[in-house]
Each structure stands twice: as structure tokens, then as C-alpha cells.
């Protein structure tokens, strides 16, 4: 029973010691001030859990980017260690010396940096918390982008094919004009043969002189129509190929772009979806704001705890230790200067 208690106490001691190390405090001084252990252990615990959340946040963010578990784990660990070391430095750099206003001025840049880190940590975790809603919004964004893409492609098709379509229309209109001229000549010939009176017919029934002349005119116009069709056929074929090429090229480009749009699920895309959800759904904006506030509060809490806590034995001993080192360094410098002056004077005497 006694051995079990000893083991438990030993584990508790090492856990507490680890938290004291995490807090950025000076262990040599903390050993002399056991009344400060709980405060520094609490600060160390906050720094530890902030680093854990930063690791999880970075892991999810990197997985959405690289889609690789190994790369995500490696980067997440490195990021967590960096945040841990940065938080530890921020807290340890705050000294409980001087007036409260001086301490506040020293803490403001650290609070700003801690707040920024809280924002960086919270965003990937927000994406994970609202993953289902974000995925749904991503599909909406993808469909919207595809619709916009189709409009742009239609505009490009119209722009690139218009010259060919215009020329093709002009040829068709010219063929139609030849056809109309031929049809008009056919009608006039028929009226002439049937003896129908008009301003262009003689009114005599039968195939007379006028009918022969109108038949020749009809044949001539038919020949003109066929010659023009024959002459323009290669050009029409060329225009059809060019128009088809425009449609084929743009359709191929559209398919490639649509495949890219289907893969629109990276980290930046998810941030865009989360931002749109916040604008469209007030409850999402409120929830996102609370999560952001939670992580900012978590990140700045070690700084605030250090700032608002009263000056304790640890702070007095730390100030005394640093002052002793300053005095020791000043004394060594003064002794060094004295020895240098003595050597210079001795050297001058020897020269004389």
C-alpha cells in the first residue's frame, strides 16, 4: 500500500514538474518557492493544451491541402512544437517588476500576438466542427462556379464563331437570292406558257418566242445558282469546320475546368464556404464567433494570468537573481577596466 502511494506521488511530482517546465519558469527558483507551484503548473497546463489544439488544427489543415496522413502528422507536430515554444517564450518574457502600467505596456504586444495565434488555431478546428455544413456549401459554390463558367464559355463561343457565322449567313443569303431569282423566272415562264396576262408576259398560250426567251432566262439563272453553290461549297465546308473547331476546343476546355471545379475542396475553398455560411446563416456566424473567442481566450489566458497575478516569492527571487548577475557583471567589467589601466601605466613606466 505504501509502495503504491509512493509511486502515485512520484508520478504526480513528475507531472507537476513537467507543467512547471512548460510554464517557462526557472526551475532553480521554483524549487525555493513551492507556494508558486500551483500557479505555474496551471500556466504550463494551459500552454500544453494550447499546443495540443494547435497540433490538431494544423493536422486537419494540412490534410485538406496535401491529402496525406504522414505529411499532415509531421507538419502538425512541428507546428504544435512551434506554438508551444512561442507561447512558453511569451509567458516567460513577462516580468512582474515595475509599475502595473509598465507591465501592461510590455504585455500588449504579447497579447496581440497571442490573439493572432488564437485566430490561426481556431479556423481549421472551426472547419472540422462545421464540416457537414461546409461540404454542403462547397457543393453550392461548385455549382455556382460551373454556371458562371458555362456563361463565360457561351460568350467565348459566340465571340469566336461570329465571324464564321456571319460569312456563312452572307453566303446563304446570296444563295437564297439566286434561288429567288430562279423561282421568279420559273413562275414567269409558266405564266407565259399558260397565257396568263401580266406586265411581263404576252398573254398568248403556248411555247412561243417569249416563252423560249423566258426559258433561256430560267436556265441561265439556274446555272448561276448551281455555279455559285459549287463555288461556295468549299468555303461553306471550311466555315463549318472552323465553327465546329470552336465548339470542340471550348467544350474540351470546359470539361477540364469542370474537373478542376469538382476538386474545389481545398483549405482556402473551405474557408470561403465557412465565410459564406456565416453571412447567410446568423446562427453559424454566432457559433463561429464563440469558437474564435474561446481559442483567443485560451491563447491569451497564460499572459493574463501572469499579468493579473500578484507579485510572489518567485518574482522577488527572480528579480534578486537577475540583479545579482547584473551587479556581478558590472563588477567584473570594472575590475577588468582597472587591470587594463594598471597594465597601461606599467607599460608607460617601462618605456621611460
| Per-residue pLDDT tens over the stretch 138-153 | 888 888 887 887 788 8
Q: How far apart, in whole angstroms, are the C-alpha atoms of residue 213 and residue 199?
A: 15
| 3-state secondary structure (DSSP) of residue 131 | helix
* pLDDT-wise least confident of 34-48, 112-126, 135-149, 249-263: 249-263
pLDDT for 18 beyond 60: yes
- 38 with 46: CB under 8 angstroms? no
Q: Give the model's confidence band at 5: pLDDT under 50 very low, under 70 low, under 90 confident, else very high.
A: very low
Of 94, 75, 35, 102, residue with least CA distance to 302? 94
**How confident is the model at residue 164, as a pLDDT?**
82
**How confident is the model at residue 348, as a pLDDT?**
60
The larger pLDDT score, comparing residue 156 to residue 75, is at 75
Q: Give the model's confidence band at 262: pLDDT under 50 very low, under 70 low, under 90 confident, else very high.
A: low
**How confident is the model at residue 8, as a pLDDT?**
46
Contacts of 60 (CB under 8 A, 6+ apart): 72, 124, 125, 127, 128
Range 50-58 average pLDDT: 83
**How confident is the model at residue 192, as a pLDDT?**
67
Highest mean pLDDT pick, 120-129, 174-183, 245-254: 174-183
Range 165-171 average pLDDT: 87
Sequence-ordered alpha helix ranges (H) in 130-208? 131-194
Q: How far apart, in whole angstroms, are the C-alpha atoms of residue 344 and residue 335?
A: 14
Residue spans per domain, the chain: 2-129+281-310, 147-250, 312-352
Q: Which three cell numbers stand for residue 330?
A: 558590472
* pLDDT-wise least confident of 58-62, 200-204, 286-290: 200-204
- 69 with 63: CB under 8 angstroms? yes
Dihedral, CA of residue 198, residue 203, residue 205 and residue 207, to nearest 10: -80
Q: Which three cell numbers stand for residue 59?
A: 493536422
Range 322-330 average pLDDT: 78
| Per-residue pLDDT tens over the stretch 79-135 | 888 888 888 887 887 777 667 777 777 778 777 877 787 787 778 878 888 888 888
Q: How far apart, in whole angstroms, are the C-alpha atoms of residue 178 and residue 63?
A: 69
Of 156, 158, 160, 79, residue with least CA distance to 124? 79
* Arithmetic mean of pLDDT over the chain: 78
**How confident is the model at residue 187, as a pLDDT?**
75
Structural element, H or E, at residue 66: helix 37-66
By percentage, how much of the chain surpasses pLDDT 70? 84
Q: DSSP for 263-291, please give it.
A: T--SHHHHHHHHHHHHHH-HHHHHHHHHH
Which pTM does this prediction carry? 0.55
Amino acid at each position: 500500500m505504501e509502495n503504491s502511494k509512493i509511486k502515485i506521488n512520484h508520478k504526480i511530482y513528475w507531472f507537476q514538474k513537467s507543467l512547471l517546465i512548460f510554464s517557462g519558469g526557472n526551475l532553480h527558483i521554483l524549487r525555493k518557492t513551492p507556494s508558486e507551484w500551483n500557479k505555474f503548473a496551471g500556466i504550463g497546463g494551459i500552454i500544453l493544451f494550447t499546443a495540443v489544439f494547435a497540433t490538431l488544427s494544423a493536422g486537419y489543415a494540412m490534410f485538406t491541402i496535401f491529402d496525406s496522413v504522414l505529411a499532415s502528422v509531421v507538419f502538425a507536430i512541428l507546428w504544435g512544437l512551434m506554438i508551444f515554444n512561442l507561447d512558453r517564450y511569451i509567458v516567460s518574457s513577462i516580468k512582474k517588476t515595475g509599475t502595473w502600467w509598465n507591465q501592461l505596456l510590455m504585455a500588449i504586444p504579447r497579447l496581440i500576438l497571442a490573439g493572432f495565434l488564437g485566430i490561426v488555431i481556431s479556423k481549421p478546428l472551426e472547419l472540422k466542427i462545421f464540416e457537414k455544413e461546409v461540404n454542403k456549401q462547397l457543393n453550392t459554390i461548385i455549382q455556382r462556379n460551373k454556371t458562371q463558367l458555362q456563361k463565360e464559355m457561351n460568350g467565348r463561343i459566340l465571340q469566336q464563331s461570329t465571324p464564321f457565322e456571319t460569312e456563312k449567313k452572307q453566303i446563304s443569303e446570296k444563295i437564297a437570292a439566286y434561288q429567288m431569282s430562279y423561282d421568279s423566272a420559273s413562275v414567269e415562264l409558266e405564266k407565259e406558257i399558260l397565257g396568263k396576262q401580266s406586265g411581263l408576259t404576252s398573254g398568248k398560250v403556248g411555247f412561243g418566242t417569249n416563252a423560249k426567251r423566258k426559258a433561256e432566262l430560267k436556265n441561265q439563272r439556274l446555272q448561276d445558282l448551281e455555279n455559285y453553290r459549287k463555288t461556295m461549297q468549299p468555303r461553306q465546308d471550311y466555315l463549318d469546320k472552323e465553327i465546329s473547331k470552336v465548339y470542340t476546343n471550348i467544350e474540351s476546355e470546359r470539361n477540364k475546368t469542370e474537373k478542376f471545379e469538382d476538386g474545389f475542396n481545398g483549405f482556402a475553398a473551405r474557408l470561403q464556404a465557412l465565410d459564406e455560411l456565416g453571412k447567410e446563416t446568423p446562427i453559424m456566424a454566432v457559433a463561429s464567433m464563440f469558437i474564435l473567442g474561446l481559442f483567443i481566450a485560451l491563447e491569451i489566458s497564460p499572459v493574463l494570468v501572469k499579468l493579473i497575478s500578484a507579485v510572489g516569492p518567485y518574482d522577488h527571487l527572480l528579480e534578486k537573481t537577475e540583479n545579482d548577475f547584473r551587479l556581478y557583471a558590472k563588477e567584473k567589467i570594472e575590475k577588468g577596466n582597472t587591470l587594463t589601466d594598471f597594465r597601461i601605466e606599467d607599460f608607460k613606466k617601462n618605456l621611460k
